[in-house]
Chains A and B, each alone.
Chain A
Amino acid sequence: DIVMTQSPLSLPVTPGEPASISCRSSQSLLHTSGCHYLNWYLQKPGQSPQLLIYLASNRAPGVPDRFSGSGSGTDFTLKISRVEAEDVGVYYCMQAQQTPWTFGQGTKVEIK
């Protein structure tokens, strides 16, 4: 199975400031299609996970443009340009390059 490793696991943030989460995979997530099969999800308190980013760098419909995804191969990053209070929760990366699909451990983002 592909192992997904996120860092940090806890991220205190200040509203208005940027934030960044790293995700590393144990194998390349580059598919023969030419895209990287990596998604980012946010699970807000009391809610189910929501899709933020797909194919490493594409925002899902309705996701604010302060969220961006980047990376290639085995190293990926989710960035929030200016954190808002509503962005708190647990962020997960997930690979869909190979079954079984696997998730990172999660990064808990909270306001300082």
Chain B
Amino acid sequence: QVQLQESGPGLVKPSETLSLTCTVSGDSITTSYWSWIRKSPGKGLEWLGHVSYSGGTSYNPSFKGRVTMALDTSKNQFSLKLTSVTAADTAIYHCARHVRFYCGSVGYYPLDYWGQGTLVTVSS
């Protein structure tokens, strides 16, 4: 059974960097794509971006260069860093795995397994 678990500080000061780690069990991070999604009262669910099995990334332009994602294959983990945080970044942060299906011969990668989420509050 695939399981994902987020970890990191629950409180971050304004202007500082939010750092989270997702530990994956039951699958290797070298075999799929991995995303970060957050849920806040003001904006609902937001996709922040994903990192591929090879370390390639795709980010949501809304975060204007503040976001970085990376793999740590030695620990089967992947990470999120969000810089220059404000109160608007207060949210529950989820990590998630992409599963591969096909449309004809074209691969399609929706999110399937999600972590339970971790609440990060931005406050001084």
Contact = CB atoms under 8 A, between A and B. Distances in A.
Given A33-B106, A51-B111, A60-B112, A99 B44 contact: no
B97 to A, nearest CB: 10
Contacts of A1: 62
A76 interface: no
A54 B110 contact: yes
Given A48-B114, A49-B114, A54-B101, A103 B58 contact: no
A48 B115 contact: yes
B60 A58 contact: no
A55 B45 contact: no
Interface in B89-124: 94, 99, 101, 103-104, 106, 108-112, 114-117
Interface residues of A, number: 28
Contacts of B58: 99
B26 interface: no
B44 A106 contact: yes
Contact of A100 (B44, B62, B111): B62
B112 A99 contact: no
Contacts of A64: none
Contacts of B115: 48
A51 B110 contact: yes
A104 B46 CA distance: 10
Contacts of B46: 103
Nearest to B115: A48
Contact of B104 (A33, A41, A51): A33
B95 to A, nearest CB: 10
A103 B117 CA distance: 17
Interface in B27-52: 44-47, 49
Contact of A103 (B47, B104, B108, B112): B47
Interface of A: 1, 31, 33-35, 37, 39, 41, 47-51, 54-55, 58, 60, 92, 94, 96, 99-106
